[in-house]
Amino acid sequence: MNEQEIVNQIISYIPTIDFSTTSSSVSLFETTIRYLAGMLSGYDLLSGPLAHLATNKTDVDALLTQSINLANNLSYAFETPTGIPWNNLDFSTRGNDGSNNGLATVGTLVLEWTRLADITGNTTYAALVDKAQTYLFNPSPPEAEPFPGLLGMGINVTTGEFQDAVGGWIGGADSYYEYLIKMYIYDPERYAAYKDKWITAADSSIRYLASHPAPRPDITFLAAFDGKNLNNESQHLACFDGGNFILAGQVLGEKKYVDFGLELVSGCHETYIGTQTRIGPEIFRWNSTTVPADQEDFFNKNGFWIANAGYQLRPEVIESYYYAYRATNDTKYQDWAWDAFVAINETTRIGSGYSSIVNVDAVGGGGFTDFQESFWFAEVLKYSYLIQTGGGEEWQVGKGGRDAWVFNTEAHPVRVVGGGR
């Protein structure tokens, strides 16, 4: 936004942080996509097209130094028999909680750690995540891949074996699929295999998971799965899927992916406009045989019923609107994003900030949880802003071909190798 004063407040504070100590548990995944990605993105922007905003170059350099410090403190997580990292870390003991890891939390590190390796020239950072990724590309046992390219979620850190065949484009799996095409955008030579994996997963999703609710056959959702059994259930988290298909379709020059992505975007739009707050629920279903009695009319009208009515300030629907608009120039997506932003602002603003709410289908949201997520700023506000701006900035995405920047899963833009298109 070119807010120079705020930029300099932030980057002058970051060098004061000690990333070697904390009293709380540390998630490798969350820390990577938020802290590490945020600092690397700031470094790419402020040493590149937004360099004029930083009044002190030393503070810009510190973004990279602190990225190195943070990654070095996190890196012991990869010291396992397989190289698959522990996710929940205890910095005070260099220990972990001993729990297994998951598809998304293993498969959503590669962009950030590879970018750090490329900027610093220290290939160790990329080697760590590349080793872990090999277990995702060669899943064992075979039944952990019930459909080509679509994997279960639980992974044994010690053996590398998958623990289940439960999945979909849902929380716990989502950003693994997201990063397959984004790594190809980041560097199509090194990560050509990631493109092939994305295509396999996408084609399987269209063939096996695409679903149309009985009362609203005009709507398209992606079902979840347990083995080869489909569950007519999805999540707000999964609503990034339309944007990901659109992005891939443009990069690959495949209209079928763009068109399918636009169908998914429209489906998620329906989850917003069907509720009293005009905000979509955390979890929704379209199984006709299990509709609660008090939601039968709602289901017949909207094509889904609400399984979890909360809203955790999530960005995925507006994120997909952004990709849809950038691909089509259709201003209806700007209108949809504005409607969503107005509804979220009216319903979730409380006190000095914004809070998750408990019921999107109750006037006023049904109450507040008194918790504000970081992705409210990093994603909801960013995508709401970017979809309304002129679009000429080099970090904007989705005009066909390879973009000059790729957004990580928390919407931190990373400069691609070689400058993109």
Annotated active-site positions, please? 282
Contacts of 188 (CB under 8 A, 6+ apart): 195, 402
- Name which of 269, 264, 150 is nearest 210 in CA terms: 264
Say how far apart CA 243 and CA 303 lie, in whole Å.
21
Whether 348 contacts 333, CB under 8 Å: no
DSSP state of 267: H
Q: How many CB atoms within 10 Å of residue 47?
A: 17
- Looking at 249-352, which runs of residues are DSSP E strands? 283-285, 305-308, 349-350
Q: Is the dihedral of CA 354, 19, 69, 100 positive or negative?
A: negative
Say how far apart CA 265 and CA 256 lie, in whole Å.
14
Whether 202 contacts 257, CB under 8 Å: yes
Say how far apart CA 243 and CA 316 lie, in whole Å.
9
DSSP line for 324-350: HHHHH--THHHHHHHHHHHHHHHHHEE
The pair of three-digit structure tokens given for residue 331, joined into one six-digit string: 């201003």
For 58, half-sphere exposure in the C-beta direction (CA atoms, 13 angstrom radius) is 4
Say how far apart CA 294 and CA 291 lie, in whole Å.
8
274: left (phi over 0), alpha (psi -120 to 50) or beta: alpha
Q: How many CB atoms within 10 Å of residue 350?
A: 13
| CA distances for 338 relative to 208, 355, 377, 401, angstroms | 33, 19, 16, 27
Whether 303 contacts 213, CB under 8 Å: yes
Whether 302 contacts 216, CB under 8 Å: yes
412: left (phi over 0), alpha (psi -120 to 50) or beta: beta
Three-class DSSP category at 151: coil
Say how far apart CA 203 and CA 209 lie, in whole Å.
10
